[in-house]
Amino acid sequence: MEITNNIAGKTVLQNVVDKLIHTLSPVAIRNNSSIVNDIPSKLDIGADENTVISVISGLLRSVINNARESCIRISAKEMYGKIVTVMVKDSNSFNTYAVACSLQDVVPLAEKIGGHLDITNERKKVTTIAFRFPIGQQQQNTVPLFE
């Protein structure tokens, strides 16, 4: 998936999510659901692009497959220039247990890059999945101390 902006070839998270939404929209439409991308346009993925994209894809697939007549919102924020949190919120979760079970393959991917997933069920039908992952550490240029 080659989606970059013009700033040093970084992968823009909003563009990645737009492409994933486009791919997954037939399932959402079948379930009478809509998907809204609330991710800021200036947020980039950082290192480990393929893994981050795989985790976000897994989150969206899980939520969309288990949503019925819902509005699914995906948002993200960067904290302290070190961590990005991506949140997928389903306002009419059909089966939160099924969502949690379908994420079993995604959890090890998230952990592989130092990230983790949290699932909260605020009210009976409102489910939010948060994916937090570090950014920036692998992007620094390092000079070897010994050669």
Share of the chain above pLDDT 70, in %: 85
pLDDT of residue 9: 64
Task: For the chain, give every domain's residue range.
Answer: 13-135
pLDDT of residue 8: 58
Q: What angle do CA 44, 120, 54 make, to 5 degrees?
A: 35
> CA 9, 10, 15, 19 torsion: positive or negative?
positive
pLDDT of residue 144: 42
Query: What is the average pLDDT across 21-38?
Result: 95
Query: What is the average pLDDT across 8-37?
Result: 92
What DSSP element (H or E) covers 89?
strand 83-90
- Reduced to 3 states, what is the DSSP secondary structure of residue 66? coil
Q: What is the pLDDT of residues 60-113, one digit of tens each?
A: 999 999 889 999 999 999 998 889 999 999 998 878 888 999 999 999 999 999
Best CATH choice for the domain 13-135 from the list 3.40.50.2300, 3.40.50.12780, 3.30.1180.10, 3.30.565.10: 3.30.565.10
pLDDT of residue 142: 37
